[in-house]
Every structure is written in C-alpha cells, then in structure tokens.
C-alpha cells in the first residue's frame, strides 16, 4: 500500500485480495482493526460482485448465499444477497475475463465475516463465478450511515472527517458487554486495490 498511501504504519481493517477492488479502512490502532474485523461484532461489509451468468434467474442460488454455505468445511454466516443493475463502473485494469457466449450480471452481497477469498468461493459454490469484486461500504453498526467508497477513485485516499473519527472512537468506548478500555485513534479510508490477505474478497 505504500505505493498509494504515503503514511507509514497504517494497516487495513480487513484486507482485499490483489485482484479485488474497493474500500479499505486504514488505521494505526490495533484494537480498532480487531474491532472491525472480528465477526462477533457483526460489522456488515457490502460488496458489488459481477458474476458469470444471470443471477436474477437463479433465486435458489441467492437463497443459498443468504442462508449460508459450507466452504472448506466451515459454514458461512447468513448473508444478504440481491441482484442489482450494472453500476456503470469504469473498466477494470487489467480487464476482467469474459466469454462472449455467457452473459454477466451484478450482485450486491453483504457479509459479517471476512474469510480468505470468501465472496469468490461463495459465488463459485452456487455456479455464479465472480468476475469482478468491489467492497463499497463498511457498516459501523452505530445506527448511522455506513462508511462508503463514494467519491474515491482507484488508488485515491482521504482522512476520515471529524464525525467519522468520533464514530470510530466510540466503537472502542466501554459498554456493558465489554470491559473498560480507552478510546482509540481513528483511521483513513482508501479506495483501490490492496495487497493479499483475508477480508472477504
């Protein structure tokens, strides 16, 4: 990420695979990173997924994605899945592989966990192979709008604003379900490709 982010010692709270795109939240706070990626806290991550085949014509596949699948011997958590229209994104570099005789379509898929290449393995398991994958939002589960990719092109980044920083700090404040811990620092939001690693991509 040093190619895109000229700030040392920040790490992604949920990485993307090298062939995936989209939103990364970067932070120097290890507890914030853990808080956002631990499935016990249930932070929804929203993905737009271009798949091979007509997703809307296979409601049984969508229901399997929603209810959970057995992937590498472990069942996935229930997910949210729905067909969406083509979001009209700029072409990917390098371009996706596409077979002229087979149509493609788009899904919006939301997960509360981030295993290695999970989205790709889930769509492959229901015969809708992933061609392109973007993470577009991370829900902080605080009742406010999710952090979204809006306005960030591939490779761009920005600092979180004051309101977003407060929301991130609030995640680390004590609650009845957690022992007392002090608030942490906020993070940075970035768009584009990442290095390899787990995170659902």
If you write DSSP's letter for every residue of 23-76 in order, what string do you get?
A: -EEEES-HHHHHHHH-GGG---EEEEEEEES-GGG-HHHHHHHHH--EETTEEP
Q: Is residue 130 part of a domain?
A: yes
Write down the pTM of the prediction. 0.84
Residue 6 domain-assigned (yes or no): no
Q: How many domains does the chain have?
A: 1
CB 135 within 8 A of CB 23: yes
Q: Which of 17, 38, 139, 161 is catalytic?
A: 17
Indicate whether 201 belongs to any domain.
Answer: no
Active-site residue, 19 included: no
- CA angle (81, 47, 150) in 5-degree steps: 130
For the ranges 95-99, 155-159, 183-187, the lowest mean pLDDT is seen at 183-187
- Note the pLDDT tens digit of each residue in 33-77: 999 988 888 899 999 999 999 999 999 999 999 999 999 999 999
Alpha-carbon span 50 to 136, nearest angstrom: 13
Quick check: is 38 in a domain? Answer: yes
CATH of residue 121's domain is: 3.30.70.1560
Residue 170, domain extent: 11-190
Please check whether residue 126 lies inside any domain of the structure. yes
Residue 200 lies in a domain: no
Q: Is residue 172 part of a domain?
A: yes
Q: Residue holding tokens 């392109």?
A: 132
Q: 35: which residues sit within 8 A by CB, 6+ positions away? A: 41, 171, 172
């Amino acid at each position: 990420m040093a190619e895109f982010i000229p700030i040392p010692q920040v790490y992604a709270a949920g990485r993307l695979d090298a062939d995936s795109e989209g939103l990364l939240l970067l932070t120097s706070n290890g507890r914030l990173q853990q808080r956002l990626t631990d499935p016990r806290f249930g932070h929804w991550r929203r993905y737009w997924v271009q798949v091979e085949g007509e997703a809307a014509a296979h409601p049984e596949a969508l229901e399997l994605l929603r209810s959970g699948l057995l992937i590498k011997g472990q069942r996935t958590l229930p997910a949210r899945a729905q067909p969406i229209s083509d979001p009209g994104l700029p072409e990917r570099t390098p371009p996706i592989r596409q077979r002229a005789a087979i149509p493609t379509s788009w899904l919006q898929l939301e997960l509360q966990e981030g295993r290695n290449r999970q989205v790709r393995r889930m769509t492959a398991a229901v015969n809708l192979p992933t061609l392109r994958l973007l993470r577009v939002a991370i829900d902080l589960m605080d009742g406010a709008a999710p952090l979204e990719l809006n306005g960030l092109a591939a490779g761009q980044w920005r600092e979180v604003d004051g309101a977003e920083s407060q929301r991130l700090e609030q995640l680390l404040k004590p609650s009845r379900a957690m022992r007392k811990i002090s608030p942490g620092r906020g993070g940075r939001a970035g768009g584009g490709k990442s290095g390899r690693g787990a995170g659902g991509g």
